[in-house]
Amino acid sequence: MISTDATCAGTAATPKDFKSPLKPIWCPGCGDYGVLNALYRALAAIGRPPHEIAFVSGIGCSSRIPGYTTAYGFNTVHGRALPIAQGIKLANPELLVLVAGGDGDGFSIGGGHVPHAIRRNADLTYIVMDNQVYGLTKGQVSPTSPRGTRARSSVYGSMESPVNPLLYTLAYGAGFVAQGIPGDLDGLAAIIEEGIRYPGFAFINVQSPCVSFGEPDNQVKVQRTRMRKLAAEGHDPSNRLRAIELAQDYGQELYTGVFYRNPNPPPTHGSQVKALQDERKALKAGAPPALSETDNHPTCC
């Protein structure tokens, strides 16, 4: 295991340092394996020891991911990873806080939490393993399933338009929005590392195929042939309007890389809370002593 003070001692961390003894029980070929491997690499590059990392998830196949790392993990409640992660970050701002889950967890039951984490600019990295299906509960349509998807819960085909996670987060003002695929491990590891380094709310949508209930034309091998790297297309990630334009192709084009990185990141929620606390402390230190019990209750009344 990585030394608890590896970064101070100058010992380089390796992906293995973040691998827990627990063996993943995902189906063979599940995209989530690739996400986990990319994450190991990203954490090694960041170099923070596992005890300085809190990894929070909701419920779902993808939400098992914290247990496969050596970070402190919390496999919480369906759809509630973001509020719990925000609480952890507020209570201990020094921690590196990662959040993960599925598209159902994040954009169905938990969809109402995403805008608030974004508008607060909570300093979290949120990784959604978007397989366009509810995997754990055996293949119902999810909020990102394409219209017409036939599943156990929609035998005649889904009649709803899918949620677009890229547009959703960009529209609410997320400072970092990216997308990756597990078949491009190097690219995904680089995106996760960049998201972690971004000072503020970072959203990473991973098109992580479900081999058991997902669409056959959206599996790892097919994705590799379909992916279009934004960097190779000459996209400038500081251009938010262009990012929004590109994000509209979600479900049609498989863009990978950083859609948007705010070149002037606004203050994080934590830094604003800290500034307020410091201001209150200074005021208190300079303020006249509080009135005593007797002063507050004069004997005349």
**Which positions lie near ligand TPP, rule CB under 6 A?**
59-62, 78, 101-105, 129, 131, 133-137, 142
* Greatest CA separation for the chain: 86
Q: Is position 26 an interface residue for ligand SF4 (rule: CB under 6 A)? A: yes
Q: Is position 61 an interface residue for ligand SF4 (rule: CB under 6 A)? A: yes
**Nearest residue to 122 (alpha-carbon basis) of 79, 168, 169, 52:** 169
CB of 34 to ligand TPP, least distance (A): 14
Q: Is position 32 an interface residue for ligand SF4 (rule: CB under 6 A)? A: yes
Q: What does the block give as tokens for 69?
A: 């790392």
* Cα Rg, the chain, nearest whole Å: 22
Please give the C-alpha separations between residue 264 and each of 100, 175, 261, in angstroms, as whole numbers: 25, 9, 9
180 touches which of ligand TPP, ligand SF4, none (CB within 5 to 8 A by kind)? none
Give the CB-nearest residue to ligand TPP.
102
Helix runs in 62-145, H state only: 81-91, 103-104, 114-120
The alpha carbon of residue 31 and the mean position of all alpha carbons in its chain are separated, in whole angstroms, by: 16
Q: Which is nearer to ligand SF4, 86 or 179 (CB)?
A: 179
Site for ligand SF4 in 188-247 (CB under 6 A): 210-213
Number of residues that bind ligand SF4 (CB under 6 A): 12
CB of 91 to ligand TPP, least distance (A): 24
244 touches which of ligand TPP, ligand SF4, none (CB within 5 to 8 A by kind)? none
26 touches which of ligand SF4, ligand TPP, none (CB within 5 to 8 A by kind)? ligand SF4
212 touches which of ligand TPP, ligand SF4, none (CB within 5 to 8 A by kind)? ligand SF4
Nearest-angstrom CA–CA distance, 143 and 161:
8
Nearest-angstrom CA–CA distance, 279 and 284:
9
Tell me the three state secondary structure of residue 61.
Answer: coil
Judge contact between 95 and 48, C-beta under 8 A: no
59 touches which of ligand TPP, ligand SF4, none (CB within 5 to 8 A by kind)? ligand TPP
Please give the C-alpha separations between residue 61 and each of 104, 129, 143, in angstroms, as whole numbers: 11, 9, 16
Nearest-angstrom CA–CA distance, 293 and 217:
74
Query: Stretches 24-32, 145-153, 239-247, 291-299: which one binds ligand SF4 (CB under 6 A)?
Result: 24-32
Count, residues in the chain: 301
Sheet holding 72-75: strands in order across?
Answer: 72-75, 53-57, 96-102, 125-130, 202-207, 176-180, 254-261, 227-229
Q: Is position 75 an interface residue for ligand SF4 (rule: CB under 6 A)? A: no
Judge contact between 296 and 219, C-beta under 8 A: no
Q: Is position 100 an interface residue for ligand SF4 (rule: CB under 6 A)? A: no
Q: Which is nearer to ligand SF4, 179 or 218 (CB)?
A: 218
Q: Is position 135 an interface residue for ligand SF4 (rule: CB under 6 A)? A: yes
162 touches which of ligand SF4, ligand TPP, none (CB within 5 to 8 A by kind)? none
213 touches which of ligand TPP, ligand SF4, none (CB within 5 to 8 A by kind)? ligand SF4
Which parts of this chain interact with ligand SF4 (CB under 6 A)? 26-27, 30, 32, 61, 131, 135-136, 210-213
